[in-house]
């Protein structure tokens, strides 16, 4: 963790030499890290979708072989072998956790006591937002995936449709947390959340296009 921290901290300083703005530097570094981890994230999304499909197939098998214990066990074993590979994507995605946590630590410990052009109403990005604009924006970003899933934009993302209450709770928690957190963390949360949403949206659109192409070829 220390090695990752030192690397990201040094990288942030080098980016700031180019941008001259710590707020923009946070956005750039977060984007670079998120893009670098896209392959792992895509694997995780594919694995989640496969696990969901497997659960549906298992339910179908239970209904089909109800009362036929041996046949059910054989079919379940075959299905489990097919889905074994999908677990690798989920395990691989765990690599993202220490990286993103370390990135959080880097932004939490930034020594810069200056403002940023992207949050001109805040005197220092080490302080919390006195007008709660950053926490509210973060809450809005938190709501995007749930809203998109509810209207069917995130099909095959592995994210289930959420009730309004289930969407509002994380957003409210985000506001409460960021209300007293440094603006550096708010910028990080907004950037990371928005890029994550774009990634989910693009993945869903690509999967939908692949399905339509496969359906057209089948016909």
CA 72 – CA 65 distance, rounded (Å):
6
Per-residue pLDDT tens digits for 143-167: 888 888 777 666 544 555 567 777 7
Q: What angle do CA 159, 161, 165 make, to 5 degrees?
A: 115
For residue 27, how many other CB atoms are within 10 A of its CB?
22
Per-residue pLDDT tens digits for 70-126: 777 777 777 666 655 555 555 556 767 888 888 888 998 887 788 999 999 999 999
Sketch the domain layout of the chain as residue ranges: 2-37+95-218
CA 168 – CA 40 distance, rounded (Å):
28
The per-residue DSSP string of 176-205 comes to HHHTSS-HHHHHHHHHHHHHHHHHHHHHHH
CA 24 – CA 194 distance, rounded (Å):
15
DSSP 132: -
The label of the residue with tokens 């950037």 reads: 191
Model pTM greater than 0.85?
A: no
Share of the chain above pLDDT 90, in %: 37
- Calculated CA dihedral for residues 177, 182, 183, 186, nearest 10 degrees: -30
SS3 114: coil
């Amino acid at each position: 963790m220390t090695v990752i921290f030192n690397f990201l901290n040094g990288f942030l300083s080098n980016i700031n030499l180019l941008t001259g703005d710590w707020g923009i530097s946070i956005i750039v570094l977060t984007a670079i890290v998120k893009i670098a981890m896209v392959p792992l994230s895509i694997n995780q999304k594919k694995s989640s979708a496969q696990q969901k499909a497997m659960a549906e197939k298992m339910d179908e098998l239970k209904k089909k072989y109800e009362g036929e214990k041996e046949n059910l066990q054989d079919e379940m074993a075959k299905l489990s072998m097919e889905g074994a590979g999908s677990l690798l994507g989920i395990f691989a995605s765990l690599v993202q956790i220490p990286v993103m946590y370390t990135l959080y630590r880097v932004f939490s410990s930034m020594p810069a006591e200056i403002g940023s052009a992207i949050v001109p109403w805040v005197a220092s990005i080490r302080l919390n937002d006195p007008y709660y604009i950053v926490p509210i924006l973060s809450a809005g970003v938190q709501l995007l995936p749930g809203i998109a899933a509810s209207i069917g934009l995130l099909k095959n993302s592995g994210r289930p449709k959420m009730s309004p209450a289930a969407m509002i709770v994380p957003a409210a928690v985000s506001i409460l947390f960021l209300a007293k957190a440094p603006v550096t963390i708010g910028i990080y949360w907004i950037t990371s959340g928005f890029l994550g949403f774009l990634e989910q949206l693009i993945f869903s659109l690509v999967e939908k296009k692949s399905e339509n192409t496969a359906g057209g070829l089948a016909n």
